[in-house]
Amino acid sequence: MGADDTGRIVFDGVVNGSRHVAPGRSSSSIDIVACTDAVFYIVGVVADRVVVRDCRNCRVVVGCCLGEVLVESCQLVTVSAVTRSLSIATSVSCTLFALCREPIAVQADCRNVAVGPFNAPFDGSDDIDAASLRYVVAGSTDASPTDVVRPVDPAEFIMAPVPIGHPPPSPFPLPDAYQQALSVRESRWRSLLARLNDPSVPRADLAQARAQADTQFRKWLEASGEITFLEALHQNRYRVVS
């Protein structure tokens, strides 16, 4: 990691690690370049831009960017951002969870980009209003628009809270379809937990329910990117920029 007197922070070549720009740490811009299997929590305010370039299998959370977030030449990257504008170019199989003032710009040279509402609540995010999902395809292509970008299926939408500080005191606002899908999933979890705590459930059924809970929790860890954070924390590969 490097930082200069202008407030620019660069994360270059991070592999199998996690980095956290702490609340209260303001920066002019942040560059995340050529990183693999890494997680970045940028909770401090970024005045100008955040650039994610040439990365693979990374998760990036941007709590507040007053300018723009740019994703370029990435694969299997997930970005959760609150920002004025967000664009992605020359990228494959990436997912953007965003709350933007402007429509998300997806360049036509992208493939299999999924777009969903912001999904990474943090302390203070309860002040954010719910927003409709807006995106545009920029440029020309012979590919079908759905090969370039699609909305995240509400049934596949997950919340991925930032494991820093305190959770927001109230539920995070979401578009109706996504909120309804989460409510259904939460109801199923409550039923499963009630079954696990019911002393009348036969031992064999209880073991099956525990296995089901373990499997679902593992899927959530992998889908949310939290497993990378936990592994980095366990192996002392977690760094805070304060």
pLDDT on residue 127 = 46
pLDDT tens digits for range 122-152? 665 544 554 557 899 998 888 888 899 999 9
- Listed in sequence order, the residues at least 6 apart from 18 whose beta carbon sits closer than 8 Å to its beta carbon are 38, 39, 40, 41, 228, 229, 232, 233, 237, 238, 239
- Decide if 210 contacts 195 (C-beta within 8 A): no
Residue 219 above 80 pLDDT?
no
Mean pLDDT of 33-59: 93
Binned at pLDDT 50, 70 and 90, residue 25 comes out as confident
- Cα torsion 73, 75, 81, 83 to 10°: value is 20
Q: What is the mean pLDDT of the chain?
A: 81
Share of the chain above pLDDT 90, in %: 38
Residue 121 above 80 pLDDT?
no
pLDDT on residue 126 = 46
pLDDT tens digits for range 59-105? 999 988 999 999 999 999 999 998 999 999 999 999 999 988 899 99
- Write the CATH number for 36: 2.160.20.70
CA 136 to mean position of chain CA atoms: 20
Mean pLDDT of 18-30: 82
Higher pLDDT, residue 226 or 169: 226
User: What are the C-alpha distances in Å from 139 to residues 69, 110, 193?
Assistant: 19, 10, 49
User: Could you tell me the pTM of the whole model?
Assistant: 0.80
Other CB atoms within 10 Å distance of the CB of residue 192:
15
pLDDT on residue 186 = 81
Binned at pLDDT 50, 70 and 90, residue 168 comes out as low
What's the total number of domains in the chain? 1
For residue 116, the enclosing domain spans 1-241
Residue 53 above 70 pLDDT?
yes
Residue 111 above 60 pLDDT?
yes
Residue 237 above 60 pLDDT?
no
Higher pLDDT, residue 112 or 208: 112
pLDDT on residue 130 = 46
Nearest to 160 by CA among 197, 122, 214: 122
Residue 119 above 50 pLDDT?
yes
Nearest to 78 by CA among 111, 116, 104: 116
pLDDT on residue 206 = 73
